Amino acid sequence: MVTEKQTQQLTLAPENALRLANLCGHLNENIHQIEKALTLEIRQRGSVVQLTGSAPAVSEGARVLESLYQTTSDGSVITPDMVHLTLKESGFQPDSGDEQSDGAPSQEIEDNFKAVLIKTPQSSVKPRGKHQRQYVESIRALDINFGIGPAGTGKTYLAVACAVEALLQDKVKRVLLVRPAVEAGEKLGFLPGDLSQKIDPYLRPLYDALYEMLGFEKVTRLIEKNVIEVAPLAYMRGRTLNGAFIILDESQNTTVSQMKMFLTRIGFGSTAVITGDVTQIDLPKGTRSGLVHGLKVLHNVQGIGFSFFDSKDVVRHSLVQKIVEAYDEYERKNTITSLNHDSNSSHDRDN
């Protein structure tokens, strides 16, 4: 079926030559990026832009251009990364069903984003796409939430942002960031320093997110006061945590007993977020992942939220999404090949 093309004319106001140049980027690289992502043709003459493509793509293209142009009002430089993230906001997919294909207005989508905007002292964190919005809404509404998906989908970053928001609004008294200290190719015993120094590299992504949202000095002060605690999972045994926001990151590397231990630490007035990627398990061969097991055990328990992300939710470099999809496709083909091989072997034995 051939999709009928339509043309829409958009006027960016107020007209400003420097802002328009910023929007277009060096050699129109930002415009070309939008054209490629949405399968559009964009022609620009001064502040007037003409978009040609399918109706949903034209509508989304107009939204992206208007949003980016508004961003230039404070002098912000439009980079390819910013274009990529703005394109991600609505979860638009030109070759499949998308959020705007039913004609949903751009303003409605923008209002939804504003409703789940997470404000932190250093910046405001804006969920990108439907799954991220639902994830944040679930964290705000439920005491225990699972965020499962590939690298780069914002699972940990958004969880830390929600934790900072809850702390600043006095909804919790402290924040705990937890990770299992599982070796991913290196042995802890051969790393330099004491136990704390050996564990520290595994917790670095959590520190980085905190520094970005609160600033280095404030994070340091809060850690000294034990308002923010960053710890390996082993340190959680025997504790009961009331009035805390607890994040268990990289939970695919927990054992079944560790996951049960962690979940039973949750006390009154606490919120727990468990993030992980079931395709990147670093446990010893034959050891069952606590995350995989927990999803099967808890999927029908009321009061627990489950948010699942896929390659389309990746908000890092655009190549990361393609890498995730390539690995998924490879694993799918290998699984089918393995099943066919097992079936043929069984047939040969029967004969």
3-state secondary structure of 183: coil
Judgement on whether residues 170 and 153 belong to the same structural domain of the protein: yes
pLDDT tens digit string along 227-255?
998 888 888 887 878 999 999 999 999 99
Instruction: Describe the chain by its helix, strand, coil percentages, rounded to 5.
Output: 50, 15, 35
Residue 324 maps to a domain: yes
Residue whose pair of structure tokens reads 């107020």 in the numeric block: 14
pLDDT of residue 304 exceeding 70, the answer is yes
Range name among 215-219, 259-263, 311-315 with the lowest pLDDT average? 311-315
* Best mean pLDDT range from 76-90, 194-208, 237-251: 237-251
What would the two tokens of residue 253 be? 């590397």
pLDDT exceeds cutoff 90 at 50 = yes
Tell me the pLDDT tens digit for each residue of 114-141: 557 888 888 778 787 788 889 999 999 9
Position 202 in a domain = yes
Residues 308 and 196 in one domain: yes
Return the amino acid letter for 254: T
pLDDT of 318 reads 62
What is the domain count for the chain? 3
pTM of the model: 0.66
Please check whether residues 21 and 141 belong to one and the same domain: no
Q: What CATH number is given to the structural domain containing 58? A: 3.30.1370.10
Q: Mean pLDDT throughout 10-39?
A: 90
Please check the confidence at residue 62 and state whether its pLDDT lies above 80: yes
User: Could you tell me if residue 105 is inside a domain?
Assistant: no
Q: Which of 147, 128, 14, 25 is nearest to 77 (CA)?
A: 25
Report yes or no on 109 lying in a domain.
Answer: no
Q: Check whether residue 204 and residue 259 sit in a common domain.
A: yes
- Beta-carbon contacts of residue 145 (< 8 Å; ≥ 6 apart): 135, 138, 139, 271, 272, 273, 274, 304, 305, 306, 307
Kindly state whether residues 129 and 140 are assigned to the same domain.
yes
Task: Please indicate, yes or no, whether residues 323 and 224 belong to a single structural domain of this protein.
Answer: no
Q: Which helix (H) or strand (E) holds 233?
A: none
* Position 104 in a domain: no
Is 125 found in the same domain as 251?
yes
pLDDT at 97: 44
Residue 100, domain member (yes or no): no
CB atoms within 10 A of CB 242: 12
Q: For residue 341, what pLDDT is reported?
A: 57
pLDDT in the model for residue 288:
93
Cα radius of gyration rounded to whole Å, the chain = 23
The whole-number pLDDT of residue 217 equals 93
Q: Are residues 179 and 299 in the same domain?
A: yes
| Mean pLDDT for the stretch of residues 200-208 | 78
Flag whether pLDDT at 154 surpasses 60: yes
pLDDT at 49: 92
Mapped onto helix, strand or coil, the DSSP state of residue 316 is: coil
* Residue 351: inside a domain: no
At 108 the pLDDT is 47
Residues 309 and 328 in one domain: no
**Model confidence at 263: pLDDT above 90:** yes
pLDDT at 96: 46
Residues 306, 295: contact at Cβ < 8 Å? yes
* CATH number of the domain bearing residue 158: 3.40.50.300
- Rounded CA-CA distance 255/257 in Å is 5
pLDDT of amino acid 186:
45
Please check whether residue 110 lies inside any domain of the structure: no
Residues 212 and 268 in one domain: yes
Q: Contact at 8 Å (CB) between 145 and 275?
A: no
Of the residues 61, 93, 125, the one at which a domain ends = 93
Same domain, 172 and 305: yes
Residue 165 has pLDDT above 90, yes or no: yes
| pLDDT > 70 fraction of the chain, expressed in percent and rounded | 78
Task: Give the structural domain span for 170.
Answer: 115-315
pLDDT at residue 198, as a whole number: 61
192/284 same-domain check: yes
pLDDT band at 100 (very low <50, low <70, confident <90, very high): very low
Quickly tell me which residue has 């393609």 as its tokens: 322
